[in-house]
Amino acid sequence: MAGGSMQAESHVLVELRAATLAQGVSPYGLIEQAAIAVTDGQIVWIGLEADLPTRFATWPRTPLGNRLVTPALIDCHTHVVHGGNRATEFELRLKGATYEEVARAGGGIISTVTATRSASVDDLIAQALPRIDAMLAEGVSTLEIKSGYGLDRETELNMRRAARALPQHRPVRVVTSFLGAHAVPATYTTRPEAYIHEVCIPTLRAAHAEGRVDAVDGFCETIAFLPDQIRPLFDVARDLGLPVKLHAEQLSNLGGAQLAASYGALSADHIEYLDAAGVDAMAAAGTVAVILPGAFYTLRETQAPPIEALRAAGVAMALATDCNPGSAPMTSLLLAMNMGCTLFRMTPEEALRGVTAHAAQARGPHGLRQGEPRNARGSGRLGRRASG
Protein backbone atom coordinates (compact mmCIF):
# COMPACT_ATOMS: atom_id res chain seq x y z
CA MET A 1 0.00 0.00 0.00
CA ALA A 2 3.04 2.24 0.29
CA GLY A 3 4.76 3.81 -2.70
CA GLY A 4 4.59 7.38 -3.84
CA SER A 5 3.57 6.71 -7.43
CA MET A 6 0.63 8.68 -8.80
CA GLN A 7 -0.67 5.47 -10.39
CA ALA A 8 -3.41 3.91 -8.28
CA GLU A 9 -2.47 0.44 -7.05
CA SER A 10 -5.30 -1.86 -8.06
CA HIS A 11 -5.92 -5.54 -7.44
CA VAL A 12 -8.68 -8.01 -6.71
CA LEU A 13 -8.62 -10.13 -3.56
CA VAL A 14 -10.10 -13.56 -4.29
CA GLU A 15 -10.58 -16.93 -2.54
CA LEU A 16 -11.94 -15.36 0.60
CA ARG A 17 -14.99 -15.18 2.82
CA ALA A 18 -16.13 -11.62 3.45
CA ALA A 19 -17.89 -10.61 6.67
CA THR A 20 -19.45 -7.42 5.31
CA LEU A 21 -21.71 -7.00 8.38
CA ALA A 22 -24.51 -5.89 6.05
CA GLN A 23 -27.70 -6.00 8.13
CA GLY A 24 -30.28 -8.69 7.63
CA VAL A 25 -28.42 -10.74 5.04
CA SER A 26 -26.76 -13.87 6.38
CA PRO A 27 -25.05 -13.89 9.77
CA TYR A 28 -22.12 -11.42 9.67
CA GLY A 29 -23.34 -10.28 6.24
CA LEU A 30 -21.17 -13.17 5.15
CA ILE A 31 -20.38 -13.68 1.46
CA GLU A 32 -18.79 -17.06 0.78
CA GLN A 33 -16.51 -17.27 -2.26
CA ALA A 34 -16.24 -13.52 -2.34
CA ALA A 35 -14.01 -11.10 -4.19
CA ILE A 36 -12.97 -7.58 -3.22
CA ALA A 37 -11.67 -5.06 -5.75
CA VAL A 38 -9.26 -2.59 -4.18
CA THR A 39 -7.72 0.49 -5.68
CA ASP A 40 -5.21 2.56 -3.76
CA GLY A 41 -6.33 0.99 -0.49
CA GLN A 42 -10.04 1.69 -1.07
CA ILE A 43 -12.64 -1.02 -1.55
CA VAL A 44 -14.37 -0.24 -4.83
CA TRP A 45 -16.37 -3.43 -5.23
CA ILE A 46 -17.29 -6.40 -3.06
CA GLY A 47 -19.48 -9.39 -3.90
CA LEU A 48 -19.52 -12.95 -5.12
CA GLU A 49 -16.38 -13.78 -7.08
CA ALA A 50 -18.66 -15.25 -9.78
CA ASP A 51 -20.30 -11.81 -10.17
CA LEU A 52 -17.06 -9.85 -10.52
CA PRO A 53 -17.71 -7.15 -13.18
CA THR A 54 -15.65 -7.44 -16.35
CA ARG A 55 -13.98 -4.05 -15.76
CA PHE A 56 -11.88 -5.77 -13.06
CA ALA A 57 -10.97 -8.73 -15.27
CA THR A 58 -7.49 -7.44 -16.08
CA TRP A 59 -6.58 -6.47 -12.50
CA PRO A 60 -4.00 -8.66 -10.77
CA ARG A 61 -5.47 -11.18 -8.33
CA THR A 62 -4.38 -11.92 -4.80
CA PRO A 63 -5.74 -15.26 -3.49
CA LEU A 64 -6.30 -15.37 0.28
CA GLY A 65 -6.67 -19.14 0.79
CA ASN A 66 -10.32 -18.91 1.93
CA ARG A 67 -9.47 -16.67 4.89
CA LEU A 68 -12.18 -14.61 6.58
CA VAL A 69 -11.91 -10.91 5.74
CA THR A 70 -13.52 -8.45 8.15
CA PRO A 71 -13.53 -4.67 8.31
CA ALA A 72 -10.47 -3.39 10.17
CA LEU A 73 -11.13 -3.20 13.92
CA ILE A 74 -11.85 -0.04 15.87
CA ASP A 75 -11.09 0.29 19.59
CA CYS A 76 -13.59 3.04 20.46
CA HIS A 77 -12.69 3.55 24.15
CA THR A 78 -9.07 3.73 25.30
CA HIS A 79 -6.86 5.63 27.71
CA VAL A 80 -3.77 4.36 25.92
CA VAL A 81 -1.82 7.60 26.47
CA HIS A 82 -0.78 7.81 30.13
CA GLY A 83 2.32 7.84 32.34
CA GLY A 84 3.46 5.06 34.67
CA ASN A 85 1.67 1.95 35.85
CA ARG A 86 -0.46 0.85 38.81
CA ALA A 87 1.10 -2.49 39.76
CA THR A 88 0.98 -1.55 43.47
CA GLU A 89 -2.72 -0.86 43.29
CA PHE A 90 -3.25 -4.23 41.61
CA GLU A 91 -1.69 -5.89 44.64
CA LEU A 92 -3.74 -3.78 47.07
CA ARG A 93 -6.94 -4.78 45.34
CA LEU A 94 -5.94 -8.45 45.43
CA LYS A 95 -5.64 -8.03 49.21
CA GLY A 96 -9.22 -6.81 49.34
CA ALA A 97 -9.22 -3.03 48.79
CA THR A 98 -11.97 -1.91 46.41
CA TYR A 99 -11.45 0.41 43.43
CA GLU A 100 -13.34 3.15 45.32
CA GLU A 101 -11.22 2.68 48.48
CA VAL A 102 -7.99 2.94 46.49
CA ALA A 103 -9.32 6.08 44.74
CA ARG A 104 -10.46 7.73 47.99
CA ALA A 105 -7.02 7.06 49.52
CA GLY A 106 -5.42 9.13 46.71
CA GLY A 107 -4.44 6.13 44.57
CA GLY A 108 -6.31 5.15 41.44
CA ILE A 109 -6.72 7.72 38.69
CA ILE A 110 -4.98 10.41 40.78
CA SER A 111 -1.77 8.37 41.01
CA THR A 112 -1.67 8.09 37.21
CA VAL A 113 -2.23 11.86 37.09
CA THR A 114 1.00 12.35 39.07
CA ALA A 115 2.95 10.10 36.67
CA THR A 116 1.40 11.71 33.60
CA ARG A 117 2.11 15.25 34.77
CA SER A 118 5.80 14.42 35.13
CA ALA A 119 6.02 12.99 31.58
CA SER A 120 6.86 15.03 28.47
CA VAL A 121 4.86 14.68 25.25
CA ASP A 122 7.71 12.54 23.88
CA ASP A 123 7.65 10.33 27.00
CA LEU A 124 3.91 9.87 26.61
CA ILE A 125 4.33 8.89 22.96
CA ALA A 126 7.16 6.47 23.80
CA GLN A 127 5.10 4.80 26.54
CA ALA A 128 2.02 4.53 24.29
CA LEU A 129 3.79 2.97 21.27
CA PRO A 130 4.24 -0.58 22.64
CA ARG A 131 0.55 -0.59 23.57
CA ILE A 132 -0.36 0.60 20.07
CA ASP A 133 1.87 -2.08 18.53
CA ALA A 134 -0.01 -4.79 20.43
CA MET A 135 -3.30 -3.37 19.13
CA LEU A 136 -2.09 -3.10 15.53
CA ALA A 137 -0.90 -6.71 15.66
CA GLU A 138 -4.51 -7.75 16.26
CA GLY A 139 -5.92 -5.82 13.29
CA VAL A 140 -6.94 -2.55 14.95
CA SER A 141 -6.90 0.35 12.49
CA THR A 142 -8.47 3.15 14.53
CA LEU A 143 -8.34 4.14 18.19
CA GLU A 144 -10.25 6.58 20.27
CA ILE A 145 -7.90 8.04 22.87
CA LYS A 146 -9.00 10.04 25.90
CA SER A 147 -7.19 12.67 27.88
CA GLY A 148 -8.07 12.80 31.59
CA TYR A 149 -4.85 12.02 33.45
CA GLY A 150 -3.74 15.65 33.47
CA LEU A 151 -6.57 17.47 35.21
CA ASP A 152 -4.62 20.65 34.59
CA ARG A 153 -4.46 22.65 31.42
CA GLU A 154 -0.90 21.88 30.39
CA THR A 155 -1.05 18.12 30.92
CA GLU A 156 -4.50 17.68 29.37
CA LEU A 157 -3.19 19.48 26.27
CA ASN A 158 0.02 17.40 26.30
CA MET A 159 -1.98 14.16 26.38
CA ARG A 160 -3.93 15.32 23.34
CA ARG A 161 -0.75 16.36 21.56
CA ALA A 162 0.77 12.93 22.21
CA ALA A 163 -2.38 11.13 21.01
CA ARG A 164 -2.60 13.17 17.85
CA ALA A 165 1.10 12.59 17.08
CA LEU A 166 0.79 8.78 17.13
CA PRO A 167 -0.21 8.45 13.43
CA GLN A 168 3.20 9.97 12.58
CA HIS A 169 4.81 6.95 14.24
CA ARG A 170 2.47 4.09 13.34
CA PRO A 171 -0.14 3.31 10.62
CA VAL A 172 -3.11 4.08 12.86
CA ARG A 173 -5.97 6.53 12.86
CA VAL A 174 -6.72 8.35 16.08
CA VAL A 175 -9.72 10.25 17.36
CA THR A 176 -9.42 12.12 20.64
CA SER A 177 -11.93 12.69 23.41
CA PHE A 178 -11.49 15.41 25.99
CA LEU A 179 -11.88 13.75 29.41
CA GLY A 180 -11.02 16.69 31.68
CA ALA A 181 -13.89 15.55 33.96
CA HIS A 182 -12.25 12.21 34.81
CA ALA A 183 -11.43 12.81 38.50
CA VAL A 184 -11.32 15.72 40.91
CA PRO A 185 -7.69 16.82 41.39
CA ALA A 186 -6.35 17.13 44.96
CA THR A 187 -6.42 20.93 44.92
CA TYR A 188 -10.20 20.89 44.27
CA THR A 189 -11.26 17.91 46.41
CA THR A 190 -14.10 19.74 48.15
CA ARG A 191 -14.97 21.92 45.14
CA PRO A 192 -15.67 19.78 42.06
CA GLU A 193 -17.94 22.45 40.52
CA ALA A 194 -15.13 25.00 40.80
CA TYR A 195 -12.78 22.56 39.03
CA ILE A 196 -15.27 22.19 36.17
CA HIS A 197 -15.65 25.97 35.73
CA GLU A 198 -12.11 27.12 36.50
CA VAL A 199 -10.03 24.38 34.88
CA CYS A 200 -12.02 21.87 32.87
CA ILE A 201 -14.13 24.17 30.70
CA PRO A 202 -11.32 26.66 29.93
CA THR A 203 -9.05 23.72 29.03
CA LEU A 204 -11.71 22.29 26.71
CA ARG A 205 -11.92 25.66 24.99
CA ALA A 206 -8.12 25.76 24.65
CA ALA A 207 -8.01 22.21 23.27
CA HIS A 208 -10.77 23.05 20.79
CA ALA A 209 -8.86 26.17 19.70
CA GLU A 210 -5.69 24.09 19.20
CA GLY A 211 -7.24 21.54 16.87
CA ARG A 212 -10.01 19.10 16.45
CA VAL A 213 -11.61 17.75 19.65
CA ASP A 214 -13.65 14.77 18.46
CA ALA A 215 -15.82 14.38 21.56
CA VAL A 216 -16.21 15.48 25.17
CA ASP A 217 -16.29 12.75 27.81
CA GLY A 218 -16.71 12.59 31.59
CA PHE A 219 -16.74 10.10 34.45
CA CYS A 220 -20.13 10.24 36.13
CA GLU A 221 -19.75 8.53 39.51
CA THR A 222 -19.70 9.43 43.19
CA ILE A 223 -15.87 9.18 43.20
CA ALA A 224 -15.76 11.56 40.21
CA PHE A 225 -18.55 13.92 39.02
CA LEU A 226 -22.30 13.91 39.62
CA PRO A 227 -24.73 14.50 36.73
CA ASP A 228 -25.33 18.13 37.75
CA GLN A 229 -21.57 18.74 37.69
CA ILE A 230 -21.22 17.21 34.20
CA ARG A 231 -24.09 19.25 32.74
CA PRO A 232 -22.27 22.64 32.42
CA LEU A 233 -19.41 20.88 30.61
CA PHE A 234 -21.85 19.25 28.18
CA ASP A 235 -23.54 22.63 27.65
CA VAL A 236 -20.21 24.06 26.52
CA ALA A 237 -19.64 21.02 24.28
CA ARG A 238 -23.02 21.67 22.69
CA ASP A 239 -22.16 25.37 22.18
CA LEU A 240 -18.90 24.35 20.49
CA GLY A 241 -20.73 21.82 18.29
CA LEU A 242 -18.91 18.85 19.84
CA PRO A 243 -20.51 15.45 20.47
CA VAL A 244 -20.45 14.00 23.98
CA LYS A 245 -20.04 10.56 25.53
CA LEU A 246 -19.95 9.48 29.16
CA HIS A 247 -18.49 6.87 31.53
CA ALA A 248 -21.82 6.07 33.13
CA GLU A 249 -23.30 3.60 35.61
CA GLN A 250 -19.98 1.78 36.04
CA LEU A 251 -20.07 1.43 39.83
CA SER A 252 -23.55 2.72 40.68
CA ASN A 253 -26.65 4.11 39.00
CA LEU A 254 -26.64 7.92 38.95
CA GLY A 255 -28.68 8.36 35.76
CA GLY A 256 -25.57 9.28 33.78
CA ALA A 257 -26.69 7.45 30.65
CA GLN A 258 -29.95 9.39 30.63
CA LEU A 259 -28.04 12.63 31.03
CA ALA A 260 -25.78 11.66 28.13
CA ALA A 261 -28.74 10.61 25.98
CA SER A 262 -30.43 13.95 26.62
CA TYR A 263 -27.42 15.55 24.88
CA GLY A 264 -27.69 13.06 21.97
CA ALA A 265 -24.49 11.36 23.14
CA LEU A 266 -22.48 9.18 20.78
CA SER A 267 -22.16 6.60 23.56
CA ALA A 268 -22.63 5.73 27.21
CA ASP A 269 -19.81 3.48 28.36
CA HIS A 270 -19.51 0.68 31.00
CA ILE A 271 -23.23 0.82 32.09
CA GLU A 272 -23.15 -2.22 34.40
CA TYR A 273 -25.73 -0.48 36.65
CA LEU A 274 -27.91 0.88 33.83
CA ASP A 275 -31.66 0.62 34.56
CA ALA A 276 -34.68 0.35 32.26
CA ALA A 277 -35.12 4.12 32.04
CA GLY A 278 -31.50 4.43 30.95
CA VAL A 279 -31.95 1.76 28.28
CA ASP A 280 -35.03 3.55 26.92
CA ALA A 281 -33.28 6.92 26.88
CA MET A 282 -30.32 5.46 24.99
CA ALA A 283 -32.59 3.73 22.47
CA ALA A 284 -34.53 6.95 21.84
CA ALA A 285 -31.34 9.01 21.37
CA GLY A 286 -29.46 6.44 19.27
CA THR A 287 -26.69 6.41 21.89
CA VAL A 288 -24.35 3.42 21.51
CA ALA A 289 -23.76 1.17 24.53
CA VAL A 290 -19.99 0.70 24.83
CA ILE A 291 -19.43 -2.51 26.76
CA LEU A 292 -16.08 -2.77 28.57
CA PRO A 293 -15.67 -6.31 29.92
CA GLY A 294 -11.97 -5.78 30.76
CA ALA A 295 -12.84 -3.30 33.52
CA PHE A 296 -15.67 -5.54 34.76
CA TYR A 297 -13.19 -8.41 34.98
CA THR A 298 -10.33 -6.51 36.59
CA LEU A 299 -12.56 -4.93 39.25
CA ARG A 300 -14.12 -8.32 40.00
CA GLU A 301 -17.49 -6.69 39.33
CA THR A 302 -20.46 -9.04 39.65
CA GLN A 303 -23.24 -6.98 38.08
CA ALA A 304 -23.23 -7.44 34.30
CA PRO A 305 -24.52 -4.74 31.95
CA PRO A 306 -28.16 -5.36 30.87
CA ILE A 307 -27.27 -6.91 27.51
CA GLU A 308 -30.65 -8.53 26.95
CA ALA A 309 -32.55 -5.31 27.62
CA LEU A 310 -30.20 -3.36 25.34
CA ARG A 311 -30.66 -5.97 22.62
CA ALA A 312 -34.45 -5.95 23.01
CA ALA A 313 -34.53 -2.14 22.81
CA GLY A 314 -32.38 -2.12 19.68
CA VAL A 315 -29.50 -0.19 21.28
CA ALA A 316 -26.32 -0.61 19.22
CA MET A 317 -23.62 -2.30 21.32
CA ALA A 318 -19.91 -1.74 20.87
CA LEU A 319 -17.02 -3.49 22.63
CA ALA A 320 -13.70 -1.85 23.54
CA THR A 321 -10.62 -2.50 25.68
CA ASP A 322 -10.83 0.61 27.95
CA CYS A 323 -7.01 0.15 27.91
CA ASN A 324 -5.92 2.00 31.07
CA PRO A 325 -3.43 1.37 33.87
CA GLY A 326 -6.03 0.86 36.61
CA SER A 327 -9.31 -0.84 35.81
CA ALA A 328 -8.37 -2.39 32.47
CA PRO A 329 -4.64 -2.95 31.95
CA MET A 330 -5.15 -4.69 28.62
CA THR A 331 -4.51 -3.98 24.97
CA SER A 332 -6.31 -6.94 23.40
CA LEU A 333 -9.51 -6.07 21.57
CA LEU A 334 -9.83 -9.75 20.59
CA LEU A 335 -9.85 -10.64 24.29
CA ALA A 336 -12.49 -7.96 24.91
CA MET A 337 -14.62 -9.64 22.20
CA ASN A 338 -14.13 -13.02 23.83
CA MET A 339 -15.01 -11.59 27.26
CA GLY A 340 -18.12 -9.90 25.84
CA CYS A 341 -19.31 -13.35 24.76
CA THR A 342 -18.08 -15.39 27.73
CA LEU A 343 -18.91 -12.98 30.56
CA PHE A 344 -21.97 -11.24 29.11
CA ARG A 345 -23.34 -13.78 26.62
CA MET A 346 -23.09 -11.41 23.67
CA THR A 347 -23.23 -13.37 20.42
CA PRO A 348 -20.06 -13.67 18.32
CA GLU A 349 -21.83 -11.62 15.65
CA GLU A 350 -22.58 -8.87 18.19
CA ALA A 351 -18.94 -8.97 19.23
CA LEU A 352 -17.69 -8.51 15.66
CA ARG A 353 -20.23 -5.77 14.97
CA GLY A 354 -19.21 -4.25 18.31
CA VAL A 355 -15.61 -3.70 17.21
CA THR A 356 -16.46 -2.61 13.65
CA ALA A 357 -19.77 -1.01 12.61
CA HIS A 358 -21.01 -0.13 16.10
CA ALA A 359 -17.57 0.97 17.24
CA ALA A 360 -17.52 3.34 14.24
CA GLN A 361 -20.85 4.75 15.37
CA ALA A 362 -19.55 5.29 18.93
CA ARG A 363 -16.31 6.82 17.60
CA GLY A 364 -18.27 9.44 15.70
CA PRO A 365 -17.84 10.85 12.21
CA HIS A 366 -14.20 11.89 12.55
CA GLY A 367 -12.52 8.51 12.20
CA LEU A 368 -11.56 9.19 8.64
CA ARG A 369 -8.54 11.13 7.54
CA GLN A 370 -9.17 14.65 6.36
CA GLY A 371 -10.67 14.62 2.88
CA GLU A 372 -11.33 10.88 2.92
CA PRO A 373 -14.79 9.95 1.65
CA ARG A 374 -17.18 8.43 4.18
CA ASN A 375 -18.72 5.15 3.18
CA ALA A 376 -22.05 3.91 4.45
CA ARG A 377 -20.63 1.68 7.11
CA GLY A 378 -17.87 3.99 8.20
CA SER A 379 -15.24 1.29 7.99
CA GLY A 380 -13.23 3.26 5.47
CA ARG A 381 -9.99 1.88 4.11
CA LEU A 382 -9.12 -1.75 4.07
CA GLY A 383 -6.86 -2.60 6.99
CA ARG A 384 -3.29 -3.57 6.37
CA ARG A 385 -4.11 -6.97 7.81
CA ALA A 386 -7.23 -7.81 5.92
CA SER A 387 -7.72 -11.31 7.23
CA GLY A 388 -9.43 -11.80 10.55
Write out the residues near ligand DI6 by the rule CB under 6 A: 108-109, 112, 182, 219, 247, 250, 295, 322, 324-328
Measured in degrees and rounded to the nearest 5, phi and psi for residue 108 equal 60, -140
Give the nearest distance from C-beta 358 to ligand DI6 in angstroms.
19
Give the nearest distance from C-beta 27 to ligand DI6 in angstroms.
31
CB 231 within 8 A of CB 251: no
Residues 6+ apart with CB under 8 A from 193: 229
Give the nearest distance from C-beta 99 to ligand DI6 in angstroms.
7
CB 19 within 8 A of CB 30: yes
Between 49 and 249, CB nearer to ligand DI6: 249
Q: Which residue is nearest to ligand DI6 (CB)?
A: 326
Binding region for Fe ion (CB under 5 A) out of 104-112, 198-206, 232-240, 318-326: 318-326
Q: Which does 112 bind (CB under 5 to 8 A by kind): Fe ion, ligand DI6, none?
A: ligand DI6
Q: Which does 109 bind (CB under 5 to 8 A by kind): ligand DI6, Fe ion, none?
A: ligand DI6
Q: Which does 185 bind (CB under 5 to 8 A by kind): ligand DI6, Fe ion, none?
A: none
d(CA 193, CA 215): 21
Q: Three-state SS across 164-222?
A: HHHHHCCCCEEEEEEEEECCCCHHHCCCHHHHHHHHHHHHHHHHHHHCCCCEEEEEECC
Between 71 and 293, CB nearer to ligand DI6: 293
Give the nearest distance from C-beta 291 to Fe ion in angstroms.
12
Q: Which residue is nearest to Fe ion (CB)?
A: 322
- For the chain, how big is the Rg over CA atoms in Å? 21
Between 52 and 274, CB nearer to Fe ion: 274
Helices (H), 263-318: 276-285, 293-298, 307-313
DSSP label at residue 15: E
Q: Which does 326 bind (CB under 5 to 8 A by kind): Fe ion, ligand DI6, none?
A: ligand DI6
Between 8 and 105, CB nearer to ligand DI6: 105
Between 182 and 353, CB nearer to ligand DI6: 182
Strand-strand pairing, 288-291 and 267-270: parallel
Burial-class residue 55 by CB neighbours within 10 Å (0-12, 13-18, 19+).
Answer: exposed
Give the nearest distance from C-beta 271 to ligand DI6 in angstroms.
12
Residue 292-311 contact track with Fe ion, rule CB under 5 A, x = bound: --------------------
Torsion sign (Cα): 332, 336, 219, 238 = positive
Q: Indicate whether 322 belongs to the interface with Fe ion (CB under 5 A).
A: yes
Binding region for Fe ion (CB under 5 A) out of 170-178, 315-323, 334-342, 378-386: 315-323
Residue type for position 257: A
Between 75 and 322, CB nearer to Fe ion: 322
Torsion sign (Cα): 273, 178, 314, 357 = negative
Query: Which chain residues interact with Fe ion by CB under 5 A?
Result: 322
